[in-house]
Structure 1
Amino acid sequence: MSSTLYIIEKSPRGQLVSDLVKYLNLDVKIVTDRESDSTFKKNFPLGKIPAFLGKNGFKLTETIAVIYYLVTLTNDEKIQNQLAGSTAEEKASILKWVSFANSDAARAAASAVFLLVGLKPFNKKELDTSLEALEQYAQAFEQRLSEYTYLATENVTLADIVSYYIWAFSFSSALGADFRKKHPQLTRWFNTIGAHPSVQFSHKGFKPVEKALEPPQGKKKEQKKEQKKEQPKQEAAQKAPAAQQPAQEKKPKHPLEVLGKSSFPLEDWKRKYMNEDTRPSSLPWFWENYNPEEWSLWKVEYKYNDELTLTFMSNNLIGGFFTRLFASVKYMFGCLVVYGENNNNGIIGAIMVRGQDYAKAFDVAPDWESYNFTKLDATKPEDKAFVEDMWAWDKPVIVNGEPREISDGKVLK
């Protein structure tokens, strides 16, 4: 009976661990269809990938842990020392680059590629932020590789192999020839590692794109085509006698306008929140005046926290989202906060919306589908406490049972 490695077949991490198994000639079975595999579900209830199940029952997840363990299975001390380091300094240097590539660089690459190929709702600000991060990381590689052939030692190590898959993923669509020309040492190193046998199983003959993908514009183009088709009809209608033109009903400027004027003084609340102490003054006033029949409260969570890097960048992401909600701001109030620290943070918050349907307020922002929305019930103590904590910012956010300090945030007002 052999050990089993569960992967997502075409993902960079899946290709990395699969290729490593083949390169090291290990007795490990590769499984890509984990959804119908009862053994996987039984042993890995969190569903994390890649996942390793040894023939002795040993279970392991997390990419870095898996690749280091795979190297130990070779029982070849020379290969182990070359790939993972032979001294404490080499081991630490290799782990530094492996960690950097698998976290910061991988998140920026995934964000850029997913936005460009349409796997995530397009968000120009998020794309710009991701590309800026990749530029910054490329400069770090460029600086190191201007003095050394490889990243950590004088040989190809796990640092080079892991980093190669991340850059190959970026070069497959998000970064073109102009980027590589700008970073000659990174490009030289990339071509060198691309010829190494450890990456030949999935990347043999790999060719980076000459030109990066353009941001998706399909919907805009279709709208323009439709507008051109309708234009002659509209001109004809305008030339027709007034008596023949049917009366048109006046459309509301915003879908929530049909709900009419609210009894809750939203602008008074916003002023009170901004100018007075939150817990002792603002929140008691809010609950006295809040009308759950006219308004609803929502927990808002960013879907892609694992792709976030620096906390200030996460906060900028919130700022961009709130800017794009401008058309709905007179029907909303709330806060989103950033919890955690650099390279380990998330976005969550509480927002009040006019009416009982969150979509009509949020869909004015093109990136609103990057968030999950859960309706809150203020009659439940835990929901009420969540709203107060999100608006007061004075208590940690509880994530998976652990307290995470709030590092930043923004108010939608």
Structure 2
Amino acid sequence: MSQGLLYCNFRTRTRVPRALVEHLKLDIKLVDPEDQPTEFARDFPLKKVPGMVLPDGSKLTEVIAISYYLIGLSSDHLAKEQLAGSNIEERAQVLRWMSLTNSELLVLFAKILKPLIGQAPYIKPQADTFEAKIEAVTASFEARLSTHTYLATEQVSLADLFAFTVFGKCFENIFGSKWRAAHPAIMRWFNTVKDVTYLRELSKKYELCDEPLPLPQSNKKKESKKESKKETKPPAPVAKAPTATEEPVEQKKPKHPLELLGKATFPLDDWKRKYSNEDTRTGALPWFWENYNPDEYSLWKVDFKYNDELTLTFMSNNLVGGFFNRLSGSVKYMFGSLVVFGENNDNGITGAVMVRGQDFAPAFDVAPDWESYSYTKLDPSKPEDKDFIGNMWAWDKPVTVDGRDREIADGKVLK
């Protein structure tokens, strides 16, 4: 008999419950709310994920409650004690750190992120308050991890798994390299937890940013105007009323050139979710090739032109990260991965990227350094090109360069 149904998707709060179901081998049906919108809205009117329907038809919400329920279903007693705590003191500490992560760190992250991605207005005093609060919250994590390996107990617990997913999203968007350098204990913990079995596949998907997301351009201009001295402006001329044969000129907001191509039938967001949540070789890639439409999108081999100038592999990977950050204006029209192959003082950058349309330039030229890369169109009807694309997106085979097989040292995904 099934142990229930779990509504989950790619959002941060659903990642740990999904990982628990898969790792503990629970008989739970995983459903994306977008696949069953009517049933989801009926069972969970607030439309918040995760949401779980229990075998008796009752409902369970909230990530902490659902995570504890899933652990309770496991027959692995050692895993239960490790994840949830072996006594009342440990269980209280696990709940404490999960609650702090969920109600403070994640909430503040969302409040900081939304104005940066255009989902809320940017108000500087408010943004400064949120940034000060999140720094105070993370100071608690830094203090604990300066003297302990893990958050709640002496081994990896549910608190570590959940906090890892939230910090991962922060590192992708708002906590750049300077912030991470100033918080060495958190980074030591993060790099330790990412190798835990529960999160090994998930941890590959996080792409740490070099710089935080920039302010929206319009707000940068507003802040600049506030800081400059106000000038007296002459009275504005009275606008001439249009004649009977004239029409007012409508000022339209400039669009990204790729938006003029119209809506594609290939579901790019669905593909990005597949890639993030399923095994690349056995799940994501077969789905991609079944749904890919070469009339709407094109595939490109992207190579860094100056590999002979690269030194340490982590610096090469940071170079890729910066490039991807500067492509943010085009990210809804593209997907791909660039990898760093080789070793320190002998490495290079290559990869495969899909873009809307048949020309690479409109997607890439939003980044000032786009001309530092060369672009070669790939033909997936050719086995060698199709294999290259799969290898660049799966990261499980060496890169062949000048007849040599070079191991992949690192890489980043643009999604």
TM-score where L is the length of structure 1? 0.51
User: Corresponding residue for 2:110?
Assistant: 110
User: Corresponding residue for 2:7?
Assistant: 6
1:68, distance to aligned residue in structure 2 (A): 0.6
- Cα distance in structure 2, aligned partners of 1:6 and 1:86: 29
User: Corresponding residue for 1:248?
Assistant: 238
Q: Is the 8 A contact 2:51 2:62 kept in 1?
A: yes
Is 2:170 the partner of 1:164? Answer: no
User: Corresponding residue for 1:94?
Assistant: 94
- Secondary structure, aligned partner of 1:93: helix
Alignment of 1:136-215 (within 5 A): 136-215=136-215
User: Corresponding residue for 1:366?
Assistant: none
1:206, distance to aligned residue in structure 2 (A): 2.4
Deviations 1:310-345 (A, max 9, x none): xxxxxxxxxxxxxxxxxxxxxxxxxxxxxxxxxxxx
Deviations 1:252-281 (A, max 9, x none): xxxxxxxxxxxxxxxxxxxxxxxxxxxxxx
User: Corresponding residue for 1:44?
Assistant: 44
For 1:198, give the aligned amino acid: Y
Q: Is the 8 A contact 1:116 1:213 kept in 2?
A: yes
- Secondary structure, aligned partner of 1:5: strand
1:99, distance to aligned residue in structure 2 (A): 0.6
Alignment of 1:4-403 (within 5 A): 4-7=5-8, 9-34=9-34, 36-218=36-218, 248=238
For 2:19, give the aligned amino acid: D
1:187, distance to aligned residue in structure 2 (A): 0.8
Report the CA distance shift for 1:58/1:201 in structure 2 as closer, same or farther (over 3 A). Answer: farther
Report the CA distance shift for 1:163/1:247 in structure 2 as closer, same or farther (over 3 A). Answer: closer
1:123, distance to aligned residue in structure 2 (A): 2.0
- Secondary structure, aligned partner of 1:172: helix
Report the CA distance shift for 1:220/1:131 in structure 2 as closer, same or farther (over 3 A). Answer: closer
1:247, distance to aligned residue in structure 2 (A): 6.6
- Secondary structure, aligned partner of 1:60: strand
Deviations 1:122-179 (A, max 9, x none): 2222222222122111211111111110011110001111111111111111110100
- Cα distance in structure 2, aligned partners of 1:97 and 1:28: 26
1:37, distance to aligned residue in structure 2 (A): 3.6
- Secondary structure, aligned partner of 2:6: strand
- Cα distance in structure 1, aligned partners of 2:218 and 2:23: 42
Larger CA deviation: 194-203 vs 155-164: 194-203
- Cα distance in structure 2, aligned partners of 1:123 and 1:64: 32
- Cα distance in structure 1, aligned partners of 2:239 and 2:113: 44
1:36, distance to aligned residue in structure 2 (A): 4.1
Structure 2: 5+ residue runs without aligned partners?
225-233, 241-415
- Cα distance in structure 2, aligned partners of 1:106 and 1:97: 12
- Secondary structure, aligned partner of 1:187: helix
Q: Percent identity?
A: 36
- Cα distance in structure 1, aligned partners of 2:237 and 2:173: 50
Report the CA distance shift for 1:204/1:247 in structure 2 as closer, same or farther (over 3 A). Answer: closer
Q: Is the 8 A contact 1:82 1:156 kept in 2?
A: yes
1:209, distance to aligned residue in structure 2 (A): 0.7
Q: Is the 8 A contact 2:169 2:206 kept in 1?
A: no
For 1:140, give the aligned amino acid: S
* Larger relative contact order, structure 1 or 2 (CA cutoff 8 Å, min sep 6): 1
- Cα distance in structure 2, aligned partners of 1:39 and 1:146: 46
Deviations 1:18-58 (A, max 9, x none): 22221222111221134744332332233332100123323
For 1:6, give the aligned amino acid: Y
Structure 1: 5+ residue runs without aligned partners?
225-237, 239-245, 251-413
Q: Is the 8 A contact 1:116 1:174 kept in 2?
A: no
**Cα-Cα RMSD:** 2.7
- Secondary structure, aligned partner of 1:30: strand
For 1:178, give the aligned amino acid: K
Report the CA distance shift for 1:36/1:78 in structure 2 as closer, same or farther (over 3 A). Answer: closer
User: Corresponding residue for 2:319?
Assistant: none
- Cα distance in structure 1, aligned partners of 2:24 and 2:5: 15
- Cα distance in structure 1, aligned partners of 2:106 and 2:219: 29
For 1:141, give the aligned amino acid: F
Q: Is the 8 A contact 1:152 1:159 kept in 2?
A: yes
Please say which structure displays the higher CA radius of gyration. 1
